[in-house]
Amino acid sequence: MKTRFNFTNRDIVSIKGFTREEIDYILEIAAAFEPLAEKGSDMLKGKVLAELFFEPSTRTRLSFETAMYKLGGNVIGFAEPGVSSVKKGETLADTVRVVENYSDVIVMRHPLEGAARFAAEYAHVPVINGGSGAEEHPTQALLDLYTILKAKGRIDGLNIALMGDLRYGRTVHSLAYALSLYDVKLNMVSPELLRMRTEVLEDIKTRIDVTEHRDVEDILPELDVLYVTRIQKERFPDLGEYEKVRGTYKVDLDLLRNAKDDLVVLHPLPRVDEIAVEVDSTPFAKYFEQTRNGVIVRMALLALVLGAIKE
Ligand code: NCD
């Protein structure tokens, strides 16, 4: 396979580091990797992925792990800092400088914004941001785009709503930046307290039309994609504020009666109560497919940054 871009050794810290052409290319490689997700490959034989997870994770950590194994590589790391020398007071800089000697690529999740960028500056191996506080989650955005593309056959021309915790949700920050590279109409739906960050809005409004809404009912009939998020309780500085917004939005069958037949409902998961379980068995629900697509997109990313796809 040939690459038109140079991804070898590249850090994936922010989705803002990518052009639309590069993102399209990653999605193309992912599509080409679909069969490998079934039959496996030894493309990354001898390579080691280190996972440094300073925050809880199910999908991001396990799908990166699966992606590495599917391509014949190996995985080391920790799923929580309590079992590492971080517990003894080791700094992030030192942890990274040690772990880069054991691995060819690092995936890190950290509660602090900027942590992934910081690690990338220290490490000589590529660093992939698996979630940096409330800031960004670039690989999630790529798998979200891949899922939209698979479900709708295109991204351009779609009417898309991001709904829920747009303030603390890192997935919607990365996804908004990524979608702003396409010709989409973007709607932000949230309670006042959880409105999309101004810095994100200001940036994406230079490229696409964005509207803000309190209630999804106002726009639901026109939507092609509804991306729902969990309220990020753990990021609220004041739990009283969380109590004010908790349970303020919910997607259920009653709401979806007014949706287009081919509306796609997405969610990065984990869900708490934002999407009723009754929606799971409808054709709208694509959030479990999203998790499968996560493995494929992460296989493509690992192969790209490890230089397994040569020019
Ligand atoms: C998200 C995260 O960690 O930001 N989960 C994920 O990676 N799929 C979303 C969330 O925690 O709500």
Q: What is the pLDDT of residues 106-137, one digit of tens each?
A: 999 999 999 999 999 999 999 999 999 999 99
Domain range list for the chain: 15-136+292-305, 138-290
**Which one of 3.40.190.10, 3.40.50.1370, 3.40.50.970, 2.60.40.10 gives the CATH number of domain 15-136+292-305?**
3.40.50.1370
Of residues 167, 159, 207, 213, the one with CA closest to residue 186: 159
What distance in Å separates the CA atoms of residue 175 and residue 195, rounded to the nearest whole number?
15
The correct answer on CATH 3.40.50.1370 for the domain covering 138-290 is yes
Instruction: Tell me if residue 310 is catalytic.
Output: no
Does the pLDDT of residue 206 top 80, yes or no?
yes
Do 15-136+292-305 and 138-290 come out as alike in CATH topology?
A: yes
Q: What is the pLDDT of residues 60-70, one digit of tens each?
A: 999 999 999 99
Amino acid found at 179: L
Mean pLDDT of 86-115: 95
Out of 140, 174, 233, mutate this one to test ligand 1's pocket (max ligand atoms within 8 Å of CB): namely 140
Distance, first Cα to last Cα, the chain: 8
Q: What is the pTM of this model?
A: 0.97
Q: Is 83 helix (H, G, I), strand (E, B) or coil?
A: helix
Catalytic one of 61, 137, 185, 230 = 137
Does the pLDDT of residue 83 top 90, yes or no?
no
What distance in Å separates the CA atoms of residue 49 and residue 301, rounded to the nearest whole number?
12
Instruction: Tell me if residue 59 is catalytic.
Output: yes
Amino acid found at 14: S
